[in-house]
Structure 1
Amino acid sequence: MVIAAPLPQPREEIQSTETAQPTRRRTGPWWWPCVLTLGLSSYGLTGSLLSRDELVTWDVVNRDTGQILATLQNVDAVHGTYYLLMHMWVSLFGDSVISMRLPSVLAMAGAASITSLIGDRLFGRRAGILAGIIFALVPAVARYGQEARSYALVILMVTLATLLVLRALDNPRSPWRWAAYALTLTGVGFLHLVALSVVLAHACVLAAHTRQNRSVWWKSALALLAVAACVTPLALFGRSQAHRQLYWVPKPDVWALSTIWPEVFASGLGCGALIALACLARPPRKSSALLCAAWAVLPSVLVWLVSHGDISYFRHVYLLFTLPAWALLAGAGLAATLHSRKATAALLVALAVLTLPDQKRMREPFEHNAPVPLDYAAAADLVAKDHQPGDAVVYDRQDTWKLDSGIQYYLPRDLKMRDVFLAKTPTAINDLYAVQCAVPDLCLRGEQRIWLLTQGVGADPFDGINSEQASALRTRYRAAMSTPVTGMTVTLLVRQGKS
């Protein structure tokens, strides 16, 4: 007979008790956090314009499967799983803002539910419910629950992998439970390699359990080796592309280990409040706190250390998967400190009020485009309003803010204009950025009207494009109208001599 380890309490031992409980009692730890997260993440879902990264998602997932795979050979291989999943989703439900962001909403709701279930196992039912509610109230949960990127799915998969490793330890003799854990952890790696640093926390739990059941060490080792075998090719391939994608991320200094947390929580006050509550946690078993503390802290330390090589990976969005761990500790701290329902409810309301300004900020029109706000929608509206058949367009492509994709997304889909200086589309070259005409003078075809869309609101709109393109346009066109919108300028060029 296998002696039960201190973490987690084997579910088989309490199964008969759970069976006797009403359904509402057993579903409580996950139901309310799920509904709350779903509501908060859905509120204002279309309020913010698509970000640059979301526009990359839109561009890639609208290519066919062969084109997506070819693109991944050149760039963004580490996000390939997400792109393929979203390609299937968009094929079924379209590419509206709601449709593209909805998978993240659902993933965050699922992560809240699983966070509560983990809290129920580690700290008790009340702490589990509180952990799920606290997770839902974190502003970053709503922010990245409204982002058409992989971050919410990563959080979901990390929480699921953590729950599954606990279930595997409930019954270490079950190969299916170890297989489920390994498969889910592989999914974490395929969605975001940095998130695999959660294995440090899992290793702490496995090591604690090994002292009670020696078979755990080789079973867990087999599971982790299988994961490593699956993700290593992707890691090596992604590493070969990392310089191109992450060249701009600075190496973190020693202060970055502390200053990054307000960014992870998307709230300085919320961050401080949750960490304070986490410090009050008094778990019934030390190994419960060990798991959550390791999950909350160790990945950031590992990523910080690795980021002092030739490539830095130290970005707050890459550490969002630690949020459930902080919520678990905060839920345990709140449950241990306040025993009155009224006092607990009052503190949760206070936390919601404390983070309300940050929740509002998460839904502002240009929040997803920070720190460079660009009003793609307003620019597209100006073009659509005064567009005439035969109009052409020139986009400012000197930066990497996907201005062309942003305008194209918000333009009516049946409004087509010739892109004057476009030589090859990103799809044609299996990349994320276009190739422009080498000799701009030869690319003009006598268009009577050209829309010039540039970043910035300077006095001379021609300053927004490269000098050769500007020279070719200046000699043939004049600005008939130039209108600034947030972060951009929309200029209508008409051929010289045309009234």
Structure 2
Amino acid sequence: MTGYRMTAPELGRDELITWDMATRDPGQILATLHHVDAVHGAYYLLMHMWVGLFGDSVISMRFPSVLAASVAASVVSLIGNRLFGARAGIIAGTLFALVPALSRYAQEARSYSLVVLLAALATLLLLRMLDHPRNPWRWAGYTLALVGLGLFHVIALSVVAAHTCVLAVHARHDRSLWWKSPLAFLAVAICLAPVVLLSRSQVDVQLGWVPVPDGWGLLTIWWDTFASGACAGALVVLALLARSPRRAGLLLCAVWAVVPAVLVWLASQGGVSYFRAAYLLFAVPAWALLAGAGLSAVCHTWKTATALLAVLAVLCLFDQRQVRQPFDHDGPILQLPLDYRSAADLIRKHHRPGDAVVYDREHVWKLDAGVQYYLRRTVELRDVFLQSAPRDIDQLYAIDCAMPDRCLKGEQRIWLLSHGDDDPDPFNAINQRQADVLRNRYTPSWSRSMAGMTVTLLVRGAEH
């Protein structure tokens, strides 16, 4: 499911940041994390090693997420088997694989699929540890899984709320859990404290654009979390049908499914909002587990269960197609997706040696990185107004030169890439000081509009 048409969507802005960070050396990555994106530092270092081994193609950069989502489906089945039986486990893993959001983020070069895997793995290791709570190695495995989860996304540690409930239930029979559990959580907190403190100092810059959710948002978030209203509705209904003599399993999954979203919603009522569907993706396994238990309870034969799974797959078919659209990875955020690939193809087709380029950097959507990615290793263009590349200043975005007239080198042709596709004057989209300099020396020869951007060829004087 997750591998199907994985190259269809163009790289989104966040994926372009992954590409930029992964192609820096470890020293540059660590230096950048002191300024921004510390919460994703572990993922960038992992991707640096991966890209070093397998390259930076779209398939290569997205494949770790595909692998993580696939393994996560197996882990969900293993959890379901332990809590609700073999049939419920297989159904839960299948339901998990059918969720459109799983395919959406499994086909993105970001950490969210890995976070889902680590949340599920930590839960499985918790259950295994509770089988033998006196085994220190099982405690160590569970603790390391939580540390890994926090390194890849701190917010996902809210799954500990569900783990705490299960530990409290078992502590009635094993009093040692009352001190072993806090000790394990303390070890996790100590290991993650530097990352939490550093990322906390960066949160205003990184999440200032996320709106503070209202009460209605706490309900509607599930539509986006599943990337499908039909899938969300079906899984919620099936989850309500879940039955099991093992009440601790139902408690674990119910708290895991609901409480993290409530905690993140409450935390978002302050100055900064963390309430994004991608950040809550780690709760999807819990819904799949409850739905698997519910479907197993109402279907007493495999034939009936398989038929209902097929119906759900058909209901989700439209949304599965939507998450594989060319601009899906940026469209919901930008409202104006950017067709980097077509822009690069156009430049490649008409390029001449000595051409230069000017990027609209008035916006923060990585137009320059997107076009550079799809041009890499084929066309070299001097970035006319670039003063400092992101990797040179340990940041995510470039800095343009303060005096644009001194940055021109007498190029005969300049490609101007600007946001928007409905303005007849391409100079209106860029920094006005840059626009004035270009107007005085260059004339637009021709323009082509594509999704979200315009490519204009400027020629010196009237040589067009």
TM interval, shorter chain, is over 0.9
Q: Deviation string for 1:58-110 (max 9, x for gaps)?
A: 00110011111111111001100000000000000000000000000000001
Shift of the alpha carbon at 1:342? Answer: 1.7
Among 424, 441, 446, the residue aligned to 1:459: 424
Match runs of 1:29-178 below 5 Å? 40-178=1-139
The amino acid that maps onto 2:440 is T
Among 428, 438, 444, the residue aligned to 1:479: 444
Among 400, 424, 430, the residue aligned to 2:388: 424
Corresponding position of 2:345? 381
Shift of the alpha carbon at 1:372? Answer: 2.4
Corresponding position of 1:248? 209
The amino acid that maps onto 2:270 is G
Corresponding position of 1:273? 234
Corresponding position of 2:414? 450
Distance 2:54 2:439 in 1: 44
The amino acid that maps onto 2:420 is G
Structure 2: runs of 5 or more not aligned: none
Residue 41 of structure 1 contacts residue 141 of structure 1 at CA under 8 Å; is this kept in 2?
yes
Match runs of 1:94-493 below 5 Å? 94-370=55-331, 371-457=335-421, 458-493=423-458
Residue 165 of structure 1 contacts residue 181 of structure 1 at CA under 8 Å; is this kept in 2?
yes
Distance 1:326 1:372 in 2: 32
Shift of the alpha carbon at 1:436? Answer: 0.3
The amino acid that maps onto 1:49 is E
SS of equivalent residue, structure 1 residue 450: strand
Residue 336 of structure 2 contacts residue 451 of structure 2 at CA under 8 Å; is this kept in 1?
no
Residue 80 of structure 2 contacts residue 289 of structure 2 at CA under 8 Å; is this kept in 1?
yes
SS of equivalent residue, structure 1 residue 452: strand
Shift of the alpha carbon at 1:306? Answer: 0.6
Q: Deviation string for 1:384-422 (max 9, x for gaps)?
A: 000000000000001111000000000141411110000
Distance 1:234 1:156 in 2: 20
Distance 2:302 2:69 in 1: 26
The amino acid that maps onto 1:498 is E
Distance 2:352 2:428 in 1: 25
SS of equivalent residue, structure 2 residue 391: coil
Q: Deviation string for 1:207-231 (max 9, x for gaps)?
A: 0000011011211111111001111
The amino acid that maps onto 1:108 is A
Shift of the alpha carbon at 1:184? Answer: 0.6
The amino acid that maps onto 1:487 is G
Shift of the alpha carbon at 1:193? Answer: 0.3
Distance 1:142 1:239 in 2: 30
SS of equivalent residue, structure 2 residue 2: helix
The amino acid that maps onto 2:347 is V
TM-score by length of 1: 0.92
The amino acid that maps onto 1:497 is A
SS of equivalent residue, structure 1 residue 204: helix
SS of equivalent residue, structure 1 residue 475: helix
Shift of the alpha carbon at 1:340? Answer: 2.0
Distance 1:344 1:254 in 2: 35
Identity over aligned pairs, percent: 63
Distance 1:259 1:130 in 2: 26
The amino acid that maps onto 1:377 is R
The amino acid that maps onto 2:294 is G
SS of equivalent residue, structure 1 residue 427: helix
Residue 384 of structure 1 contacts residue 412 of structure 1 at CA under 8 Å; is this kept in 2?
no
Counting matched residue pairs gives: 460
Shift of the alpha carbon at 1:497? Answer: 3.0
The amino acid that maps onto 1:484 is S
The amino acid that maps onto 1:330 is A
Distance 1:340 1:89 in 2: 44
The amino acid that maps onto 1:433 is Y
Shift of the alpha carbon at 1:281? Answer: 0.3
Shift of the alpha carbon at 1:287? Answer: 1.0
In terms of mean alpha carbon deviation, does 439-448 or 180-189 score higher?
439-448
Distance 1:291 1:320 in 2: 17
The amino acid that maps onto 2:414 is I
Distance 1:487 1:164 in 2: 46
Aligned Cα root-mean-square deviation (Å): 0.7
Distance 1:356 1:108 in 2: 19
Distance 2:244 2:48 in 1: 43
Distance 1:379 1:57 in 2: 21
Q: Deviation string for 1:222-259 (max 9, x for gaps)?
A: 11110011112211110000011001011111111101
Structure 1: runs of 5 or more not aligned: 1-39
Distance 1:269 1:188 in 2: 29
SS of equivalent residue, structure 2 residue 357: strand
SS of equivalent residue, structure 1 residue 114: helix
TM-score by length of 2: 0.98
Distance 1:168 1:219 in 2: 11
Corresponding position of 1:497? 462
